Structure 1
Amino acid sequence: MKHGGATIKRLAMTLAGVSICSFSVGMFNLAAFGVDPFQCFAQGSHLPFSNSLSYGTYYMMLSFAMLIWIWLWDKHYIGLATFINLFLTGYIVELSYTFLAGIFTEPALPARMLMLGSAVILLSFGSALYYTADLGVSVYDAISLILAKKKVKIFNYTLPFKWIRVASDFVCVSAGAAFGKIPGIGTIITAFFMGPLISFFNRRAAEPFLRGKGK
């Protein structure tokens, strides 16, 4: 019974975490200060198809194409959360932006800055729930983890995970910018400065909820 309860908690945390993260991306979009590196690539590469494909559908197709590569290389990282992320993220991003844009039409600079700060907090909180639930990772997260596990080398130097992630973030931002999605301060914050906030929410919210307060 305890095991079943823990599984339900993990599933609830995953669903909530992915939904909160996706909603926060809608806030990043409305704030217009830049989005996280993978969203920069996904939204940028969607632009040529925006008249024929919704972002939600395009994101799902892009993630599925990446999932095939992951399945062939190391399917260990694929879990329930991978599919929840694949099917839900793009559509929630799309719907949340439409919803928020209907409420905040042409927000002024102070409102955009407040929205950016709120989005960073929500993204960190959602990420803490999603990571702590440990039911798998997104396709983008899996790629860096697989390359680190394969011990990618440059001039006989084995690249650690953090540098592989920095490189993959740089590639995503560069590709997104090439397609017309301009990065900004929000991109820099999400790429380099969210770690402490995620750790805080892990300690204060995600872990206590999963393990039980005080455990």
Structure 2
Amino acid sequence: MERKNKRIGMAFIGIIMTAVSVGIFRYADFGVDPYCVLLTGLARIFYTSFTITANVICALLLVFAWRMKKSLVGVSTLLNLLIYGVVADGVFAALKSVSETPALSVRIICLTGALFLLAFSGAMYYTADLGVSTYDAIALIMADRKIGKFKYCRIAIDLTCLTAGILAGGEIGIATVIIALTVGPLIQYFRTNLAEPFLEGRKIPAFLS
């Protein structure tokens, strides 16, 4: 029971922190990850909020994932649908209310903090292993259908989202490139040194405790 509770808690914290990081990335105004480039672009085209756009796309992808491979849908998938867009929009609005036009130094601090927060949240979320986000499910389903190896399917999905997002006027910038190059290794680092030891009840390295 303790392990199950840990997994649920890790999934919840991971998704909340992922959404918080997106709100901070948007506030820093250096660009967002490929999926959010698409979401911000669609929100601009249809004159809707990020929350509404994220929820609609997530719901559509959830139906697709459920029909194609139900095993990918779990607690994390549903939490992602319910809270991702709301929290991301809320954090962005809260930061904007503090300062509409932050100084460059503040933007850089926000960018750096959001990057590590995104990696940490990803480590918690993936280690919990209670389902995947609907976006992650697409590449997993493609790999399962032997369309290609997962990493190539994920690259193809990211590039597709990025291209469509750019055409739609999404929020792209240097952070988009930084996220693509660094988040994967950082997630693995936090999984190995923090998330997995926490779940298994092992000692967390001193420099992270």
TM-score of the pair, normalised by structure 1: 0.91
* 5+ long unaligned stretches in structure 2: 205-209
The match for 1:9 is 6
Q: Residue deviations 1:80-128, cap 9 Å, x none? A: 1000011110000000001111223311212111111110000000110
* 2:18–2:117 Cα contact (<8 Å) kept: yes
Distance in 2 between the 1:132 and 1:101 partners?
33
Alpha-carbon distance, 1:48 to partner: 2.4
> How far apart are the structure 2 equivalents of 1:103 and 1:202?
33
Contact residue 13 and residue 133 of structure 1 kept, 8 A: yes
Q: Show the counterpart of 1:155.
A: none
RMSD: 1.4
Residue matched to 1:181: 170
Alignment partner of 2:126 out of 115, 126, 131: 131
Q: Measure, in 2, the Cα distance between the counterparts of 1:122 and 1:79.
A: 23
Unaligned runs of 5+ in 1: 153-158
Corresponding position of 1:24: 21
Q: Is the 8 A contact 1:169 1:191 kept in 2?
A: no
Q: How many residues align?
A: 204
Q: What residue number does 2:46 align with?
A: 49
**Map of 1:156 onto structure 2:** none
1:38 is matched with which residue: 32, 35, 44?
A: 35
Structure 1 position 200 matched with structure 2 position 197: no
CA distance in 1, matches of 2:12, 2:183: 21
For 2:165 and 2:49, the matched residues in 1 are separated by 17
The separation in 2 between residues aligned to 1:47 and 1:88, in whole angstroms, is 21
CA distance in 2, matches of 1:129, 1:27: 19
TM-score, with structure 2 as normaliser: 0.93
Residues 59-86 of structure 1 deviation map (CA, whole Å, 9 limit, x = unaligned) = 1111111111111211121111000011
Residue 200 of structure 2 aligns with which residue?
A: 211
Cα deviation, residue 54, structure 1: 3.2
* Cα-to-partner distance string for 1:114-172 (whole Å, 9 max, x where unaligned): 111110000000110000000000000000001011111xxxxxx21111111110110
* Equivalent position amino acid for 2:105 in 1: P
Q: Distance in 2 between matches of 1:8 and 1:104?
A: 38
- Counterpart-to-counterpart distance in 1, 2:106 and 2:190: 25
What is the distance in 2 between the residues matched to 1:110 and 1:54?
28
SS of the aligned residue for 2:69 comes to: helix
Q: Which deviates more, 7-16 or 201-210?
A: 201-210
Moved over 3 A (4+): none
Please give the secondary structure, in 2, of the residue aligned with 1:193: helix
Output the amino acid matched with 1:163.
Y
- The aligned runs of 1:50-129 (5 Å cut-off) are 50=47, 53-129=48-124
Stretch moving more, 201-210 or 79-88: 201-210
Q: How far does residue 190 in structure 1 lie from its aligned partner after superposition?
A: 1.8
Identity of aligned residues (%): 38
